[in-house]
Amino acid sequence: MSSTKLLDELNQVQLAIELIELGARLQVLESEVSLNRGRLVRLYKEVAGKSPAKGMLPFSTDWFMTWQPNVHASFFYNIYLRLREQHKLERMQAFIKAYKLYQEHIRLCNEEDVLALTRAWTLIRFFESDMFQLSSCTCCGLKFVNHAHTPDKDYVCGVCAPPSRAGKPLKNKSPKAAKPA
Residue 147 Cα distances to 19, 65, 80, 132, angstroms? 27, 8, 18, 5
How many C-beta atoms lie closer than 10 Å to residue 140's C-beta?
A: 12
- Binding-site positions for Zn(2+): 137, 140, 157, 160
The tens-digit pLDDT sequence of the chain (181 residues) is 677 898 999 999 999 999 999 999 999 999 999 999 999 999 999 999 999 988 887 778 999 999 999 999 999 999 999 999 999 999 999 999 999 999 999 999 999 999 999 999 999 999 999 999 999 999 999 999 999 999 999 999 999 999 887 765 544 444 444 444 3
Q: Where are the domains of the chain?
A: 3-48, 58-181
pTM reported for the whole predicted model = 0.87
* Residues in binding site: 137, 140, 157, 160
